[in-house]
Amino acid sequence: MAMEARNIDKGIDGGTGELAGMRIAILAETLYEDLELWYPYYRLREAGADVFVVGSGSAETYQSKHGYPVTVDAEADTVTASQFDAVIIPGGYSPDHMRRHPSMVKLVREAHEQGKVVAAICHAGWMLASADIVRGKTATSYRSIKDDMVNAGANWVDREVVRDGWLVTSRSPADLPAFMRTIIAALKERRGRTAPERQVALAG
């Protein structure tokens, strides 16, 4: 079930586009919000990125809130944050299941520590709180978890999308266009800053 690390490092799509060569992890668990997983998945692939669905290891396939299945490419304990340029966390009820798995929380925390783009929408703020990466950050989320975000140290604001450094947050599926525009802009900016690093890696 788990995808070999070398395949993630090489990429699988070989696509062209503004994000060609970039690798993105989208986290998945049971009862994910359909649009918050599939909209980013196809938008990023359209832009040329290699997109991998990473699960907790509790199953090979997860059902969405509306019964739509997603099959994972890898389990969180078989990958590392260094293999990706970004980690995206959909909402729904899945973040409550994700945060019960230390390997998923670790992946989010280490992606943030390594300066990767970390993006969370709706109830995915729970994962940011569990990873302890919103302390001192301005962020948003679905309004019902505002208190959780504030208690985790976030400066919570009610906006369709908020970017604080490499952290991107949004409130709900209605905010997905702004969410994705901001993620793509952040990824392009990050690629520009890490271009020399990538050239060294390719030369090696």
Active-site residue numbers?
A: 122-123
Structure tokens, 31: 């009862």
Please check whether residue 143 is in contact with residue 150, taking contact to mean a CB–CB distance below 8 angstroms: no
Parallel, antiparallel, or unpaired for β 61-63 and 50-55?
unpaired
**CB neighbours of 198 closer than 8 A, spacing ≥ 6?**
21, 191
Q: Where do we find the tokens 């919103």?
A: 134
One-letter amino acid at 35 equals L
